Amino acid sequence: MAVQRASMLDLLSTVDTPQAIAEVAPLLRSRALEEPLPPRRVLDIFELWSAALGAGEMRDIPGVTFLRLWLRRSSLEPLLLGELGPEFLDAHWQQRGQAKLRCFPRGVVGHWPAANIEIQPVLSLTCALLGGNSSIVRVPSAAVAATRMIIEKLQEVDPGGEILQRVALAFFDHDSIEMHEAMARVVDGGMIWGGEEAVTTVRRLPFPASARLVVFGPRLSVAAMDSASWSDAKERRAWCQRIARDVWQFDQQACSSPQALFLERHAEHDPAEFVTDLKHAFEEENRAHPRRQIEPALTSAICRARASWLVGDETNRAWFPQSPDWTILLGQGSEIPKPTQGRTLTVLLTNDLAEVIAKFDGTVQTLGVAFKDRSREESIAQIAGFHGVDRVVRIGQMHTFGSPWDGSDLVRPMVRIVRYLPSQSGE
């Protein structure tokens, strides 16, 4: 049976009037609140969606491999169990003493994804769908083409519209405050991603007083290796390959991308030994995933970063090809340098990793680590936690999207947990 869709519920529509948003919201809300969709069924469809994204034409979309892994049941079911418990999968009540608890959707969730990650509109959307909600997604212009292709694959595996009838994908100019305000007024929750200016602008919108907002704001990420890890020739190559993968994923534009790597000094080993292997790993990654295009402004920024690094301190060293494909800058220090992005990694020697991490001020989201001594690594993780880091993970897994993210659950904030005390409970 063909799916009947309102005009704004087409796969992705350009929306130019606030009325269009106001009209579609009640329809989306009724579907979320009157047509329950058990999370287990959502997982079934997502598993099919993941497989469909393996088609050849999808491979050029940055991050699509990552998205396929995220959509798998093996990734999402543990997340749901951890956040909400086993009863949630089948939409059952959970006994809690004499009372019962059950999760219900909030209704319509609005999504304001960042513009620099093509798959982020879909990633944000899935978090709300897992909670049984409907969604309105404001798709940034840079992500329109990728989002359309990804959603077309969902259409293939969801011919009955169980999920698609709960989704409105809208494109409108990012400067149109009138459209943003119209969207904010009709939602019951919001997921906001992006830089400081974008987040501040969205948070000022006229959301209903009861709307639940979750903000994933501007952050950056770094990595750290103890001297025993990077000086071990047998393990060093594998660590370098993992670092290269973290740098290449999302072209260093994601908040989880490593911008700097702090290396603990070793009395008997020159860090150039490590950088030699890192250079080979960067070259291999570049051959496997070559840059297809680059903005002139980024090329200029990379060239300036190389030059200023070498001129700024005579002890600094650098490794890079003639092209702007990748850059390794080696020096020393304990301060996080201003990110250049574009596959530019600053490697900094330091005497004390704990001292470096104790200087973090809340701007660091993810700390990638490689330590031989587990107890020392746990100590570093604790210091990081006290200084604003939300994720401490092994190098090579810095982009693994999971709960919590930025210190917040991904599905739980967009559900309502209802407490029911039966009249015959005796409490």
Do residues 106 and 228 both lie within one domain?
Answer: no
CATH code, domain carrying 96: 3.40.605.10
Q: Does 252 map to a domain?
A: yes
The rounded distance, in Å, linking the Cα atoms of 27 and 43 is: 23
Q: Does 426 map to a domain?
A: no
CATH code, domain carrying 336: 3.40.309.10
pTM here is: 0.89
Q: Does 171 map to a domain?
A: yes
Q: Does 401 map to a domain?
A: no
Q: Does 2 map to a domain?
A: no
Do residues 245 and 200 both lie within one domain?
Answer: no
Do residues 194 and 251 both lie within one domain?
Answer: no
Listed in sequence order, the residues at least 6 apart from 216 whose beta carbon sits closer than 8 Å to its beta carbon are 191, 192, 193, 194, 255, 405, 406, 408
Amino acid (one-letter) located at 332 = Q
Number of domains in the chain: 2
Do residues 194 and 332 both lie within one domain?
Answer: no
Domain around 276? 220-394
Both structure tokens of 191: 């997921």
The rounded distance, in Å, linking the Cα atoms of 285 and 237 is: 13
Do residues 128 and 32 both lie within one domain?
Answer: yes
Q: Which residues pair with 138 in a beta bridge?
A: 170
The rounded distance, in Å, linking the Cα atoms of 264 and 261 is: 10
Do residues 173 and 320 both lie within one domain?
Answer: no
**pLDDT tens series, the chain, 427 aa:** 233 444 445 678 888 899 999 999 999 999 999 998 989 999 999 999 999 999 888 988 888 999 999 999 999 999 999 999 888 888 889 898 889 999 999 999 999 999 889 999 999 999 999 999 999 999 999 999 999 999 999 999 999 999 999 999 999 998 999 999 999 999 999 999 999 999 999 999 999 999 999 999 999 999 999 999 999 999 999 999 999 999 999 889 999 999 999 999 999 999 999 999 999 999 999 999 998 889 999 999 999 999 999 999 999 999 999 999 999 999 999 999 999 999 999 999 999 999 999 999 999 999 999 999 999 999 999 999 999 999 999 999 999 988 899 999 999 999 999 999 998 865 5
